[in-house]
Structure 1
Amino acid sequence: MFSNKDRFKEAFLKRLESMCGKGFEESTKRDQYHTLGNMIREYISSKWIGTNELYRSENKKQVYYLSIEFLLGRLLGQNLLNLGIKDMVEEGLSELDIRLSEIEECEPDPALGNGGLGRLAACFLDSLATLNLPGHGYGIRYKHGLFDQKIVDGYQVELPEQWLRHGNVWEVRKPDEAVEISFWGTIETNYANNGLSFKHVGAEKVLAVPYDMPVVGYHVDTVNTLRLWNAEPSSFGPNQDVLSYKRDTEAITDFLYPDDTHDEGKILRLKQQYFLVSSSIQRIIASYKKENQNVRELHHSVAIHINDTHPALAVPELMRILIDVEGLTWDEAWDVTTNTLSYTNHTILSEALEKWPIYLFKPLLPRIFMIIEEINERFCAELWDRYPGEWERIEHMAIIAHDLVKMAHLAIVGSSSINGVAKIHSDILKNREMKSFYEIYPHKFNNKTNGITHRRWLLKANPELTELIKEAIGDEWVKQPEKLLDLKRHVYNPALKEQFAAVKRKRKEILAKKIADKNGIIVDIDSIFDVQVKRLHAYKRQLLNVLHIMYLYNRIKEDPKYTIQPRTFIFGAKASPTYYYAKKVIKLIHSLAEKVNNDPRVSQVIKVVFMENYRVSLAEDIFPAADVSEQISTASKEASGTGNMKFMMNGALTVGTLDGANIEIMEAIGKENIFTFGLTAGEVLKYEENGRYRSMEYYHHDLRIRQVVDQLTNGFYAEDEGEFGAIADSLLVQNDQYFVLRDFASYIDVQEKVGTAYQHTDNWLEQALINISHSGYFSSDRTIREYAENIWNIEPVGVRM
């Protein structure tokens, strides 16, 4: 049905009538989307089945990537692109007077992630399939995802995200592969001739039902699987409160990151995490045993990867199954577990290194807690042998201490590999945050700098730039992104620069129209599009950006002679529903936008735009249009970042601290092609160690700082002078934990350099093209090859063209 345009049109019209029970003329865009989606999934199915059969027949090692987040984005256009049939389908639809872009708008954009963690997981799946590597994702099928962000009077309001309202054309429910998960209850220990056995009695059973989605490789036959688990009632006991049990069960897969400010929310999060790992590992082992008899050899055929600490319960769960179900001894099970599991650390922020109170953990997961206790006892005994009498060191490294279970420690001890996601991040882990573990496990620690899939963020998001690059250097880079370096030979070509400028302008026009339609704000296409889009968090320092705009507003108002290069500041971010400070920053952005955009003089040179409900599909419009990429986290706090790579790939210049992958981007493109400022990671760490930073000194000695900080609480931006008190307090009373005021002057200086540089159009275009030419290194294909070779030990399967 996709062999040529005419056959496609014929098949499409027939399928639409049979599926929708109406003629083409009466069909809606959603009817057309569902028809096309089902046709594509059917087309994919033969490759999907073939891939699974090939994996079974060749029986080579496979990797299973466990992640609490998978931020996929819309799949219709991406699948068409990867299958190589997008142009033919688009042309066929056009002859039916249907625009593919309008059909794509009917596809929901599921918020099954909060930001970089989930988008990275999605990029990795794309690369695994494209490189013909046997690797699959395991996650949770959240009914409502994160949340749908609405802005009401400048405040963030969270609404349930309804991505499943009209079904999901890409998923296949597999009830025959459902497994049971046990919560609560007690453990009976039985002694017999063959040793101890454990029985979980009085448990509350939950059914985990898998929904499989195909992951299509680019122009290859490989189709891997993303399996998302849904929680459903298992069986009802005679005295059970049926409604309460049903409600509690379905809550497990209702929302990503439920509110954990109270014990009820903490229990729900912990349930989610165990639900993910138990269902996944049960099925992984069941699948393994279909082709292999000896579970002691599991690690030769299976690699299980823990994406951040959320799936760290994979360690005790794999031990439980190997000991309680498969009958291995502790030492046998531990050998298999530690050789099967690997762990990526994504942060050094203490709040993200999860710790669970024992009083919640033990009753909910009694057998798992017993196993963690045993792991901890044995680990502490090893530490005692190594460091006799060093109680403080052992206490610091223990998996259980101070009535808390430390998930990062559990993941480190129970894995064969621990990697950071940028060179500086991995070095901080080894030299500071996890130094004590690195000293005893130096062989486990390594770095894997993050990457992004250029198929989503260049080929799909920016087809105009894609075609321009192909015209300049051919298309080998599409399969081998490192060959984008060939573009560097052409960056001084006047014709190429002119064409690139036209492409950038077109993408700015597209975004400007979206801003006008959604926000009612008319922006200047010739202004600098200065963009900061990412999760709203204090360490990412959206506040520094805002304070700079406040300073510009003051300067323009006070000095009639002051001129700057016109600039449009664009924000996009969701704040966690319980993150009070972050939500106040969103309100401040809107209060600032109202003042700036409505001032007759100021609005001639600057505008402020906040784009509601930031998500993958919106990002695909934003990245290609950006001139400036704001990557301004406090040095040492951002593990890597991947937005910096997406901007770079689309020809935006970075304004950034020497943090995360910004450093590697600078090393690739040269210091002259990036705008850096602020404290280094070493300087930040030194301040934190010696406690000598005094934010109040900067407030008193820099009139610019004093003015903008005072405006937070003197009624300038809100009638209620307490509206932004929490932000002012974070800077002065709480001593500015993320060094916003310390970096303020440096940030103003670098932004002035940006404005001046943009006026030298030729040089700016050359710098942008240099950024693009070096972006191939930051493809997730490179990252995944490193994981495959150095951690998972997996190889491409089958011969494919």
Structure 2
Amino acid sequence: MTTLPIETGQKERRRPPSLGDMIVRHLVYSVGKDQAHAVTRDWCVALSLAIRDRMVDGWMTTTRRIYKSGQKRVYYLSMEFMIGRLLEDALSNMELTEEARAFFDERGLDLGEVLTSEPDPALGNGGLGRLAACFMDSMATVGVAGIGYGIRYEHGIFRQSFQDGWQLEEPEDWLVGGNAWEFERTEVVHPVNFGGYVSSDANGKPVWNPSERIMAAAFDTPIAGWKGQHVNTLRLWSARPAEVLNLSQFNQGDFVAAARQQIVAESITKVLYPGDHTPEGRELRLKQEVFFTSASLQDIVHRFLLNHENLEKLGDHVAIQLNDTHPAIAVPELVRLLEDVHGMDFRKAFDVARACLHYTNHTLLPEALERWPLELFERCLPRHMQIIRAIDDIATAEVLAAGKGIDPNVVRAIDPHYGGFVRMGNLAFIGSSHVNGVSALHTELMKKTVFKDLHTVYPDRILNQTNGITPRRWLLECNPRLSGLITETIGDGWVADLEQLKALEPYAEDAAFRERFRRVKADNKERLSVYVQEQLGVKLDPTALFDIQIKRIHEYKRQLLNILETMALYNAMKANPNGEWQPRVKIFAGKAAPSYTLAKLIIKLINDVADKINNDSALGDMLKVVFLPNYNVSSAEIIIPAADLSEQISTAGFEASGTGNMKFALNGALTIGTLDGANVEILEHVGEDNIYIFGMEAEEVAQLQSGGYQPWVRVGETPRLQDVVTQISSGFFSHGDTERFAGIVDNVLAHDYFLVAPDFDSYWSTQRWIDKDFRDQNVWQRKAVLNTANMGWFSADRTIRGYAKDIWNALP
């Protein structure tokens, strides 16, 4: 090994190996290949392990620094971590991209191909999981001592494909080739119990006698912040049986029974969001939430006791953030650990738990707040049921003490109606110090809708922390052409301080800069066009307006409104083929939950409409529709930089925040949207001339929904929409099958809870306004530049600093 020159009297110091040396060493000794026989995936693993080695030094330094300083720890509990491929992120944050590129260039290899050979971890489904991943990046960048806790799903969310336009769900296999980033912690295993009964000891203390035990095994992934100066941990739990094999049954030839415990245990971490339309599926979902939450809390308490003795001070050193209601079981579980395991009295245990716990709400849909049937809950968690009843007694006393005239039954976690339910949103609210919304509008609506009574009793508990995105992943890495132009123009300080993008504002008036900005978008659209042709065989015109809606398929997100307007546009183009139409490409992507029948029917409708339109030779390239399968982080990184128009068209009052809207605008796409979620704040930052707002506002939506709205009447008053609904009913878009989309027709005419019909004309008119603006590229590119320039406030770094200051009290 090469040595550094040494001065007299100094011991010889050895130069650390180069990144190239480390890659080659791992290729040989970790992968077991020589350079002549290595395939792309081998190089990917070797590079990942080499980068991981570099991260480990900073990881250990960070850990020692945190322990030495006594910095407050933040633990982020989330059912999803949609982290995407980690290699490019790590290279970028560690500032090793160019060194890696030079190494592969010397060998005639393409770094891009090496990066894309990494599997995309299937650990999330949408905004909830991607937000958690952005927060992990930003906590490390800002310097918060953070650990993320979640589940190491073996198959994660399903892989989506289409058969004759219908969604098919297949298991993901992202772990088949191993995971180069994780460290298995064989010494860290925590028991998670279910079932059984509760008895009392000689002193009358409750004793839980569980009938089932699952072991949670830890796998750690280092998460480096920008420049690698701070490295945090993502700890994921994998389920293991308490007894690996019943050897007696096996030797008697009953092989299936012998392995039963292993099968039951491992099912908990097989799949993200198993179908809950069966009793077995509902029980599995509950057990998943209990499994990772209990293991995480046991781990947190264990870490605390390594350096502290008095658990009554837990809240001084620990902040636990519950990402949505999935980990809400943390409230009774932390009380149980403090009371039953560590001997604290109940009231003190609850006060300590409340001091530690904080809850982020992500939805105003009551059904999405989760509630579990009492029978199921008590059967699986009898001790927790006792604790929740005691917590409800505390809540009742606090309601009465507030003197606001609120019925305690409305506030309590246990809803006695319809056989009884445990309301997890109420439980999380009662048991937390802070409850935050994720956009200004969402936070105010929380106070008036789903948590109105709780807010009346606890008026200081709700506060806002508007979501953000990491600029490293969602501009620097996914859009190198644009990030390069920005850095050339204003320097690279924006990567760690996104608000420096404000310096781009004057360049919106610079014709030469606008042209360079336009060429970047054109290149990205060419790349997406190639990707679409590879995936679907559909040829796109990159000069057309790329109009994109990519997100989870749900009625409130209104992919249905988008495709109905697309059908009306097709009709208008056919009726007036010589009209001054702006060529458009409509791009959809997103997954529907396996048991969500209407959402899956909407996917089928979009695919059938695409088949009709794309094969109409008379239309040519004037209008194309594509639905890209298996939407994930990796595909988003190709799609978002290519967007001209970002569809954020949820029914006003239903989208908590959105983060896709931020990613698109940051990359120079203009937004068409309702005044919903973070669209409100994007409007404030980019200016009303640089965003396209349509439709009813949240108060109007609430009034219409509660005032005897008759959707068939509104459809009849909207000729373009009526024509489209008639076509769907007649089988025009389904090869004459008049029954295929009867569920959609019935939804539009008889239900329309998410108000597609009332917003249709406004949406249509706004789209035609967009056509006009896009035809004048000077107008359009000026708006696009101003969107990028004014999105700095939406950095997740800003969001994390807000949490650290206002909620966690954990600023570094």
TM-score (norm 1): 0.96
Q: Which residue pairs with 2:334 in the alignment?
A: 318
Deviation at 1:380, TM superposition (A): 2.0
User: How do 1:699-710 residues align onto structure 2 when only pairs under 5 Å count?
Assistant: 699-710=715-726
Give the number of equivalent residue pairs: 789
CA distance in 1, matches of 2:17, 2:507: 40
CA distance in 1, matches of 2:17, 2:211: 58
User: How do 1:27-176 residues align onto structure 2 when only pairs under 5 Å count?
Assistant: 27-176=38-187
Q: Which residue pairs with 2:755 in the alignment?
A: 739
User: How do 1:293-332 residues align onto structure 2 when only pairs under 5 Å count?
Assistant: 293-332=309-348
CA distance in 1, matches of 2:775, 2:512: 19
Amino acid at match of 1:673: N
Deviation at 1:53, TM superposition (A): 1.6
Q: Which residue pairs with 2:295 in the alignment?
A: 279
Q: Which residue pairs with 1:185 in the alignment?
A: 196
Deviation at 1:126, TM superposition (A): 0.3
Report the 3-state secondary structure (helix = DSSP H, G, I; strand = E; otherwise coil) of the residue aligned with 1:178: strand
Residues 624-645 of structure 1: CA deviation (Å, up to 9, x unaligned): 0000000000000100000000
Q: Which residue pairs with 1:589 in the alignment?
A: 606
Deviation at 1:50, TM superposition (A): 1.5
1:653 has 2:670 as partner: yes
CA distance in 2, matches of 1:165, 1:329: 47
1:224 has 2:232 as partner: yes
Deviation at 1:299, TM superposition (A): 0.4
Does the CA-based 8 Å contact 1:306-1:342 persist in structure 2? yes
Report the 3-state secondary structure (helix = DSSP H, G, I; strand = E; otherwise coil) of the residue aligned with 2:265: helix
Question: Match for 2:569 among 526, 537, 552?
Answer: 552
CA distance in 1, matches of 2:403, 2:747: 40
* Structure 1 range deviating more: 34-43 or 117-126: 34-43
Report the 3-state secondary structure (helix = DSSP H, G, I; strand = E; otherwise coil) of the residue aligned with 1:176: strand
Amino acid at match of 1:331: R
Amino acid at match of 2:434: S
Question: Match for 1:579 among 572, 596, 615?
Answer: 596
Does the CA-based 8 Å contact 2:48-2:180 persist in structure 1? yes
User: How do 1:706-745 residues align onto structure 2 when only pairs under 5 Å count?
Assistant: 706-718=722-734, 719-734=736-751, 736-745=752-761
Q: Which residue pairs with 2:8 in the alignment?
A: none
1:394 has 2:408 as partner: yes
Identity, in percent, stands at 43
1:253 has 2:253 as partner: no
Q: Which residue pairs with 1:406 in the alignment?
A: 423
Amino acid at match of 1:303: A
Distance change >3 Å, CA 4–CA 692, structure 1 → 2: farther
Unaligned runs of 5+ in 1: 797-801
Amino acid at match of 2:492: D
Does the CA-based 8 Å contact 2:548-2:586 persist in structure 1? yes
Distance change >3 Å, CA 715–CA 5, structure 1 → 2: farther
Runs of 4+ in 1 over 6 A off after TM superposition: 1-6, 236-240
Amino acid at match of 1:335: D
Does the CA-based 8 Å contact 1:308-1:343 persist in structure 2? yes
CA distance in 2, matches of 1:532, 1:21: 44
Residues 622-677 of structure 1: CA deviation (Å, up to 9, x unaligned): 11000000000000010000000000000000000010000100011111111110
1:459 has 2:459 as partner: no
User: How do 1:373-452 residues align onto structure 2 when only pairs under 5 Å count?
Assistant: 373-386=389-402, 393-401=407-415, 402=417, 403-452=420-469
CA RMSD of aligned residues (A): 1.7
Does the CA-based 8 Å contact 1:76-1:107 persist in structure 2? yes
Deviation at 1:143, TM superposition (A): 0.5
Q: Which residue pairs with 2:785 in the alignment?
A: 769
User: How do 1:8-23 residues align onto structure 2 when only pairs under 5 Å count?
Assistant: 8-23=19-34
Question: Match for 1:563 among 555, 558, 580?
Answer: 580
Residues 726-772 of structure 1: CA deviation (Å, up to 9, x unaligned): 111111122x1111011000011000000000011111111001000
Distance change >3 Å, CA 264–CA 6, structure 1 → 2: closer
Does the CA-based 8 Å contact 1:5-1:91 persist in structure 2? no
Deviation at 1:9, TM superposition (A): 3.1
Does the CA-based 8 Å contact 1:74-1:109 persist in structure 2? yes
Q: Which residue pairs with 1:370 in the alignment?
A: 386
Q: Which residue pairs with 1:243 in the alignment?
A: 259
Q: Which residue pairs with 1:628 in the alignment?
A: 645
Deviation at 1:243, TM superposition (A): 2.3
Amino acid at match of 1:399: A
Deviation at 1:795, TM superposition (A): 2.0
CA distance in 2, matches of 1:514, 1:219: 31
Deviation at 1:6, TM superposition (A): 9.8
CA distance in 2, matches of 1:52, 1:224: 8
Deviation at 1:476, TM superposition (A): 1.6
Amino acid at match of 2:98: D
Deviation at 1:603, TM superposition (A): 3.3
User: How do 1:661-680 residues align onto structure 2 when only pairs under 5 Å count?
Assistant: 661-680=678-697
Distance change >3 Å, CA 189–CA 673, structure 1 → 2: same
CA distance in 2, matches of 1:14, 1:257: 40
CA distance in 2, matches of 1:566, 1:101: 32
Distance change >3 Å, CA 20–CA 110, structure 1 → 2: closer
Deviation at 1:598, TM superposition (A): 0.6
